[in-house]
Amino acid sequence: MKPSTPSDVSLPNPACKAQSPNGAAVVIGAGGGLGAALVAQLSGMAGETGPCAAVLALSRSSLPAIDYGDEASLKTAADWVAAQCASRQLELRLLVVASGFLHGPQGQPERSFSQLDAGYLQHVFQVNAIGPALVMKHFLPLLPKQGRCVAAFVSARVGSIGDNALGGWYGYRASKAALNQLVKTASVEMTRRNRASICVALHPGTVDTALSQPFAKTGLKVRPAEEAASDLLAVLNNLKPGDTGSLLDYKGLTLPF
Ligand SMILES: NC(=O)c1ccc[n+]([C@@H]2O[C@H](COP(=O)([O-])OP(=O)(O)OC[C@H]3O[C@@H](n4cnc5c(N)ncnc54)[C@H](OP(=O)(O)O)[C@@H]3O)[C@@H](O)[C@H]2O)c1
């Protein structure tokens, strides 16, 4: 599913309605494999008893559109979310950022330092670290100053420096490590602002999407996006404020930075 406009669905997450009957969520990267599965799954659970009042899905093809190469698009989208919350009396309780880049016209992941390329490095950092950092700048202020709220950034296990035994994929690994540090740093600031807030990085496992498709090896456990989305929502459901600043996998296990 590739939503062309922001969608509006219920969400099975206590980050939302358990804290406020008008609790809402924003999903950024809603046009990707994982992001679309998140939105589709949440849509399927729509209903009056759902714990979230609304989900606003943003992508490069939504209205307003998110483009990480254009900070003004992020401000416009955040202003739109704020206006939606104000006019519909919603409270933003959950932010999920499911965007990411590994391969494309800008280049392929490196097998050796001899393949390092400035253009690819700039793009992979733009999408995986700088874009999400600017999302923090424009969207985290929309989260409430009281009560449980969650900001979740989809990262990757290969961004773990402590877990790096295989090498390769210099740019992707480094950009996700940068994202993890941004998440940790934002978590500290968010806790000062709201002691019940939670800000985490998530590893979804190897998921059957366009991002992983050229690299899915025989024998590697590649899971459907629907399963990964379901697992990540379950992890988010169980998070406590003490978990903030963590890198967690889809089973809820803490990974080393
Ligand atoms: N698939 C895996 O096996 C795997 C493993 C570990 C981690 N991850 C992570 O999981 C997340 C979701 O990836 P996926 O597997 O769903 O990949 P995907 O299907 O390729 O989706 C990529 C997403 O990134 C967004 N994006 C790409 N370039 C962008 C740009 N310049 N500006 C704004 N957004 C941009 C896309 O935006 P649109 O919404 O506009 O299309 C899309 O939502 C990523 O963070 C990825 O690194 C995936």
Cα–Cα distance between 14 and 25 in angstroms, integer?
A: 11
Q: How far is the CA of 34 from the centre of ligand 1 (A)?
A: 7
In terms of C-beta density within 10 A (0-12 exposed, 13-18 middle, 19 or more buried), how is residue 81 classed?
A: buried
So where are the chain's domains? Answer: 23-249
Query: Pocket residues for ligand 1 (CB within 6 Å)?
Result: 29-35, 59-61, 66-68, 98-101, 127, 131, 154, 156, 204, 206-207, 209-212
Among protein residues, the one whose CA lies closest to atom 34 of ligand 1? 99
Q: How far is the CA of 19 from the centre of ligand 1 (A)?
A: 29
Each of the 257 residues of the chain gets a pLDDT tens digit; together they read 333 333 333 334 444 556 677 888 899 999 999 999 888 776 644 333 445 678 899 999 999 999 999 999 999 999 999 999 999 999 999 999 999 999 999 999 999 999 999 999 999 999 999 999 999 999 999 999 999 999 999 999 999 999 999 999 999 999 999 999 999 999 999 999 999 999 999 999 999 999 999 988 777 789 999 999 999 988 998 999 999 999 999 999 999 99
Specify the 3-state DSSP secondary structure of 240. coil
147: how many CB neighbours lie within 10 A of its CB?
17
201 DSSP assignment: E
Core vs surface per residue 100-117: b (16+ CB within 10 A) or e: bbbbeebbebbeeeeeee
Among protein residues, the one whose CA lies closest to atom 23 of ligand 1? 99
- pTM more than 0.85: yes
Helix axes 225-238, 33-44, angle to 10 degrees: 70
Looking at domain 23-249, its CATH class is alpha beta
In this predicted structure, what is the pLDDT of residue 50?
A: 41
